[in-house]
């Protein structure tokens, strides 16, 4: 799968978006049973959804807190990789923080947005200078009616793949 080609197709048609989600459900098997999907993808913005369904419920029939956190992580990580290039940079989530404001009793949408300038200043320049960038992303989660139910903060460590050392 060529990610850039699939993303371009997803931006241009609903079939392209369906196809991207189909491939992602197999590449990221953890998200598949929860049916976390991308609903909108633009140059600087992404929206994911975690549907209101039994497998995503907590004990009081709301969407589980960890499900919302996963939707937030997925949104920020995917858009960062889209902007940076899937083959050039490695992302590792350093930490995740959630602030819950409202009970989630319907589909939840996670929205994340960044500009090219923000990427240049906060990611590319620090990676070039220090070999690593530590960034914090803010993801707004809303229900279908537009109520702000939570805010996610993902902290990412980003490195150039050429600088990554792994033990065998």
**Over 101-160, what HEC string results?**
CCCCCCCEEEEEECCHHHHHHHHHHHHHHHCCEEEEEEEEEEECCCCEEEEEEEEEEEEE
Distance of CA 159 to the CA centre of its chain: 18
Contacts of 64 (CB under 8 A, 6+ apart): 56, 57, 58
**Model pLDDT, residue 80:** 96
**Model pLDDT, residue 118:** 97
3-163, CATH topology level: Thiol Ester Dehydrase; Chain A (3.10.129)
**Model pLDDT, residue 28:** 85
Contacts of 40 (CB under 8 A, 6+ apart): 46, 47
Please list the rounded mean pLDDT of every run of 10 residues in the chain (168 residues).
85 94 87 92 96 92 94 96 89 95 94 97 94 96 96 95 69
**Model pLDDT, residue 98:** 97
* C-alpha–C-alpha distance, residues 103 and 66, integer Å: 13
Q: Where are the domains of the chain?
A: 3-163
């Amino acid at each position: 799968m060529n990610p850039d080609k699939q993303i371009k197709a997803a931006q241009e048609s609903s079939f392209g978006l369906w196809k991207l989600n189909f491939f992602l459900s197999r590449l990221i098997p953890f998200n598949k049973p929860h049916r976390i999907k991308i609903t909108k993808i633009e140059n600087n913005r992404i929206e994911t959804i975690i549907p209101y369904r039994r497998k995503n419920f907590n004990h009081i029939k709301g969407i589980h807190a960890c499900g919302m956190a996963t939707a937030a992580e997925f949104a920020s990580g995917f858009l960062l990789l889209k902007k940076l290039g899937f083959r050039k940079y490695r992302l590792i989530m350093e930490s995740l923080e959630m602030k819950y404001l409202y009970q989630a009793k319907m589909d939840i949408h996670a929205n994340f947005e960044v500009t090219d300038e923000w990427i240049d200043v906060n990611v590319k320049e620090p990676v070039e200078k220090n070999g690593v960038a530590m960034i914090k992303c803010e993801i707004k989660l809303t229900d279908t009616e537009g109520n702000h139910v939570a805010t996610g903060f993902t902290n990412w460590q980003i490195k150039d793949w050429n600088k990554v050392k792994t033990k065998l």
